[in-house]
Amino acid sequence: MHRRTFIGGTFGLALSAVGHQAKAHPPKKLPDYNLPVEMLPRVVPISVSFAPFEIHVFPGEFGLYWTLPGNIAVRYVVGIGRPGLYEAGEFYVGAKKEWPSWTPTPGMLRREPGVYSRWRDGMPGGLNNPLGSRALYLFQPGRGDTFLRIHGTNDPSTLARRVSNGCARMVNDQMIDLYDRVPMDTRVVLYPPTA
């Protein structure tokens, strides 16, 4: 089955500012990522009684779950933070942005200046931007913006891998689907990595 047909048919019902403000350059059309069926979003039963309408990320299985009533969830395959950069904890969605701009964090600039220094003043939103089509900005009470994101990517080879600077990522069309479901202040739980 074609990916867009699958997502549109199965997940068509959507539930209903931070950083540098560079001008976004969204593409007119997203690429067809041609993911294998096992990497498409799907509705799955969940054995734990999570409250509906929350995000739970299990890094050991590279799974992000958008919980629904009746002990079911929409499961997405994600890429997560590299060892030492992934941060477990409880967060909430403190901002949402479409085709967000991106600025490397001070930690990224310290770790890999050769890679990130050219973008120290920010990169406009667009298909090649590291945050992709949409981003959910994760906040914590008393801390504010944690600089952790759930965001899009145009590189499906980064899914089901520990590749990022701490964020969870999914391909752009799946990120748009999740973004449209998730309201502000949604609870997000990032679980500790398992061996």
Residues serving a catalytic function are 151, 167
Q: At 43, which amino acid appears?
A: V
Enter the tokens of residue 43. 């509705």
C-beta of residue 57 within 8 angstroms of C-beta of residue 78: yes
8 Å CB contact between 65 and 188 = no
Helices 172-181 + 3-11 axis angle, to 10? 10
∠179-153-121 over CA atoms, to 5°?
95
Residue 26's SS3 state is coil
Phi, psi angle pair for 113, to nearest 5°: -60, -35
CB 131 within 8 A of CB 152: yes
- Residues in CB range of 127: below 8 A, 6 or more apart: 25, 26, 27, 30, 31, 133, 154, 172
